[in-house]
Amino acid sequence: MNEPKTAAELAERFGEALRRIRETRPLIHHMTNYVVMNDTANLTLHVGALPVMAHAAEEVEEMVGLAGALVLNPGTLSPDWVEAMLKAGRRANELGVPVVLDPVGAGATRFRTDSNLRLLDQLKVAVIRGNSGEIGAVSGAGGVVRGVESVEGVADPVAVAVGLAREHGAVVAITGRRDVVADGHRVVGVDNGHERLTTITGTGCMATTMVAAFAAVEPDHLVAAAGGLACFGLAAEQAAAEAKGPASFKVALFDRLFGLTPEELAEGARVVWLEPPGPGGED
């Protein structure tokens, strides 16, 4: 498949990926936090994939062998979970199953920051998806995280995303009002979304699940990450119109995501190619 050159070609690819998710129903193996397990399992089903949550060291290697993507989300972490994540991640790397990392709360405590850095250090991660403060923490670029909330982001998201992407050979997605998605040489901005997303818990984790579902069927992980985020954001836009508050917004978000067609996604994606920083940034 050719690399998409224009925004329209990119949006077209998002639609094709969504169609492929629904045709092939890849298994998305989640090792994720207790808070969002139910929501992200449902979201996985609604987008068209199959969810499984499995964390025991005794089974994660076998489970990831059935999977189209592996989500590592150390949001309510403890040391044994981190070890099991490393085990699952290594096996995923051997098998070529894309690993999507969500560094929830990195920056809030040393244990969170260090655990995420260990995962990044020891695994080949396909996509890192975090808010601005979390990406700041794992990249060393600053930012402030209170709990799991980015209360102060990085100054230049494009430069930070590209820098971290180059460092790890990964795609980096910084979500916010404009999502910035970068690999070492390409940068995409995704403008879908709605501020209602900030009023419910776990929307970052949900975005990561979307990215993983797309990465399971789209080998260009920049396209996959941007596509998952556009799809999630577009459903949020549709849902906001009918919501009376955060809980009815969440119901509508899930309903809309389930009903979203590949054609609607290709048409509704609001995406732009951005200029990567100059080659001086690459060392």
Query: Which residue ranges make up the site for a copy of itself (CB under 8 A)?
Result: 27, 29, 33-39, 41-42, 44-46, 50-56, 58-59, 62-63, 66-67, 75-79, 105, 108-112, 146-149, 199-202, 244-248, 250-256, 258-259
Tell the smallest beta-carbon distance from residue 61 to a copy of itself (Å). 9
Backbone angles phi, psi at 83, to 5 degrees: -60, -45
Q: Using the 8-state DSSP alphabet, how is residue 68 labeled? A: S
Residue (of 166, 181, 221) closest to 3 by Cα position: 221
Q: In the complex with a copy of itself, which residue's Cβ is closer, 45 or 240?
A: 45
How far, in Å, CA of 262 to CA of 268, rounded? 10
Tell the smallest beta-carbon distance from residue 67 to a copy of itself (Å). 8
Q: What is the dihedral of CA 20, 221, 189, 48, to 10 degrees?
A: 30
Q: In the complex with a copy of itself, which residue's Cβ is closer, 75 or 268?
A: 75
Tell the smallest beta-carbon distance from residue 235 to a copy of itself (Å). 10
Q: In the complex with a copy of itself, which residue's Cβ is closer, 6 or 109?
A: 109
The token pair at 23 is: 């045709």
Task: Using the structure block, give the residue that is written with the tokens 């403008």.
Answer: 191
How far, in Å, CA of 161 to CA of 180, rounded? 7
Tell the smallest beta-carbon distance from residue 10 to a copy of itself (Å). 27
Tell the smallest beta-carbon distance from residue 57 to a copy of itself (Å). 8
Tell the smallest beta-carbon distance from residue 79 to a copy of itself (Å). 7
Q: In the complex with a copy of itself, which residue's Cβ is closer, 67 or 171?
A: 67
Q: In the complex with a copy of itself, which residue's Cβ is closer, 172 or 206?
A: 206
Q: Alpha helices, DSSP H only, in the chain? A: 7-24, 37-47, 60-64, 79-95, 110-122, 132-139, 157-168, 203-215, 221-240, 246-259, 262-268
Q: In the complex with a copy of itself, which residue's Cβ is closer, 147 or 278?
A: 147
